Amino acid sequence: MTCMKSRAVHLEVAHSMTTDSFLRALQRFINRRGVPADIYSDNGSNFVGAQRELQRWHKNINRDELQNRTVAYGIRWHFNPPQASHRGGIWERMIRSARRILLSTMEQQPPDDETLNTVMTEVERILNNRPLVPVLNGDPTHLALTPNDLLTLRSNEGFQGPVNLRGSYLHGWKQANYLAKVFWRRWLREYLPALQTRQKWLAKSRPFKVGDVVMIADERAHFSAWSLGVVTETIKSTDEMIRTVKLKTANGVLIRDIRSNNLLESEDGGADNP
What are the CA-CA distances from residue 102 to residues 44, 140, 143, 157, 203 (Å)? 20, 32, 29, 21, 31
Which residue, 12, 32, 31, is CA-closest to 22?
Answer: 12
pLDDT confidence of residue 103:
87
Tell me: the pLDDT tens digits for 230-250? 999 999 988 888 889 999 988
Sheet strand arrangement including 228-236: 252-257, 242-249, 228-236, 213-216, 261-263
Residues in the chain: 274
Q: Indicate the range of 11-15, 86-90, 98-102, 170-174 predicted with least confidence.
A: 86-90
What integer best gives the mean pLDDT of the chain?
78
Strands 76-79 and 38-41: parallel
Rounded CA-CA distance 230/194 in Å is 21
Q: Which residue has the higher pLDDT, 59 or 22?
A: 22
pLDDT confidence of residue 15:
85
pLDDT confidence of residue 61:
66
What are the CA-CA distances from residue 190 to residues 129, 163, 197, 200 (Å)? 16, 32, 11, 16
**Amino acid residing at 113:** D
Phi, psi (deg, nearest 5) at residue 256: -135, 145
pLDDT confidence of residue 16:
82
Tell me: the pLDDT tens digits for 217-230? 776 777 778 889 99
**Amino acid residing at 230:** V
Which residue, 112, 104, 36, 28, is CA-closest to 74?
Answer: 36
Sign of CA pseudo-dihedral 97, 25, 30, 113: negative
The whole-number average pLDDT for the span 30-34 is 92
Q: Is the pLDDT of residue 166 over 80?
A: no
CB-CB neighbours of 147 under 10 Å = 25
Label residue 267 by pLDDT band (50, 70, 90). low
pLDDT confidence of residue 77:
80
The whole-number average pLDDT for the span 168-182 is 84
Rounded CA-CA distance 246/252 in Å is 11
pLDDT confidence of residue 85:
47
CB-CB neighbours of 201 under 10 Å = 10
Specify the fold of 207-267: SH3 type barrels. (2.30.30)
pLDDT confidence of residue 69:
75
Domain ranges of the chain: 1-87, 207-267
pLDDT confidence of residue 22:
81
Percent of the chain with pLDDT over 90: 20
Angle between helices 63-71 and 19-33 (to 10 degrees): 30
Q: Is the pLDDT of residue 274 over 50?
A: no
The whole-number average pLDDT for the span 185-208 is 70
